[in-house]
Structure formats: structure tokens, C-alpha cells
Chain A
Amino acid sequence: DSGVTQTPKHLITATGQRVTLRCSPRSGDLSVYWYQQSLDQGLQFLIQYYNGEERAKGNILERFSAQQFPDLHSELNLSSLELGDSALYFCASSVGGRSSYNEQFFGPGTRLTVL
């Protein structure tokens, strides 16, 4: 158990819908990262938040957005869902975000299936 929790574990929805994935970081961690793992794209970095502010962006679609709340949990919002959005979405957290590397601890993931 990494200490990072994600809900829900599984999500099945239809095309065109909107869903919200939730992540609670390890106690004391200020940074939250979101990754998408799909069969064709592999494991891709989406976005990072540090203490409530967006710090780094990866291959995140405009239909996707995220935020980190004052209690440091984060939500990833996926809208106008397409079949290709079906994937495993991982959240990771680390103590800090700047300069020297802080190990990222990964959550168990949310498996999203778009029908």
C-alpha cells in the first residue's frame, strides 16, 4: 500500500459523458500527478499540481481538466468522453515538486471504460 488512494476503482460510462476521478495523496505530500495508461499510448504523464497550483502539463487533452483542493486531494475531470479515453488513470504523489527529485508514490488507479 503506497498511501495514495484513488476512487472509484472502476468506472463504466457512455460516450459523451463526463466523469470525475478522485485522488488523495500520501499524508504530507504536496504534489499530485496524473497519468494515463492505455494499450496504445502506454503510460503518459497528464498533469501535475503542487500545493494547489498547476506546475507541469503533459499530453492532457483540452476535454480533460484537473484541480487540487486546499486539503491537497485532487480531481481529474474528463468530459465529452470518447471510446479512446478508456484507460487506467493513475495518480501519484510526492513530498515536493521542485529541484531535487522526490520519489513519486503511485495509487492503485481508476479503470475507466467508455462504451
Chain B
Amino acid sequence: AQSVSQHNHHVILSEAASLELGCNYSYGGTVNLFWYVQYPGQHLQLLLKYFSGDPLVKGIKGFEAEFIKSKFSFNLRKPSVQWSDTAEYFCAVNAGENTGFQKLVFGTGTRLLVSP
């Protein structure tokens, strides 16, 4: 079965620190990978996605992620975090390829707290 692992459940950083959140997936087929963010009290929003091509993907708000196929990883990075980045971050893989329909499998999430 497909699965997604996020290694860090809670991360606390000071403003301007660099961020890297780990994500590993287990899926044998062609993968579509995503990072979603959930700000306090808000709905999930798409940060970035990878389908194919350049493994370094740039998203909104200065976030980027790198797909490393050999490591089954899709880590999220940001060079300098801001207080407004405090949120929960979810990595997800689209595991519905065989059916032709989408079925997102999410990781358990990482809560990021950025202190001013």
C-alpha cells in the first residue's frame, strides 16, 4: 500500500532560520507529489506539486521542494522562514494512477512554529 512518512512532527524555528521538512513515500508507480499547508483555523492549501521534469520545484511563498527518485524523497525547503509560516505542513502522493483517478495519500503532517 502507498504510504507517506514525515519524519518531523514538530519543528520550532526562529525567524530567518532555514527550513527543511522531510518526506519519504512508498509507491511503486509514477508519482505525483504535493506539499499542502494548513494555517491555523484555515483550510488546506497547495504549496507546490511535482509531476515530471525538473526535480526542483518552486512553489508559493518562497517554498521549494526537491524530488529525489533514488531516495523516494520530496523534502520541502525554505531559505528563511517568517512568523507567518507557522502552520501545519502535509506531504502527499497521488496514488490513483492505476484507476486514472486521483487518490491523495497524506503524511501525518509537521507542525511548524516560527518564533519572532
Contacts and interface: CB of A to CB of B under 8 A. Distances in A.
Does chain A bind chain B? yes
Interface of A: 2, 4, 31, 33, 35, 42-45, 48, 50, 55-56, 58, 90, 92, 94, 97-104, 106-109
Given A42-B108, A48-B103, A103-B46, 12 more contacts: A2-B45, A31-B101, A42-B106, A42-B107, A45-B104, A48-B102, A56-B96, A56-B101, A98-B101, A108-B42, A108-B43, A109-B43
Given A56-B96, A101-B51, A106 B45 contact: yes
A44 B49 CA distance: 19
A107 B103 contact: no
B57 to A, nearest CB: 13
Contacts of A102: 102
Given A98-B100, A99-B100, A106 B44 contact: yes
B19 interface: no
Interface of B: 32, 36, 42-46, 49, 51, 90, 94, 96, 99-109
A99 B17 CA distance: 39
B106 A94 contact: no
Contacts of B102: 31, 33, 48, 56, 94, 97, 101-102, 104
A94 B96 CA distance: 14
Contact of A101 (B94, B106, B107, B109): B94
Contacts of B105: 45
Contacts of A48: 101-103
B103 A42 contact: no
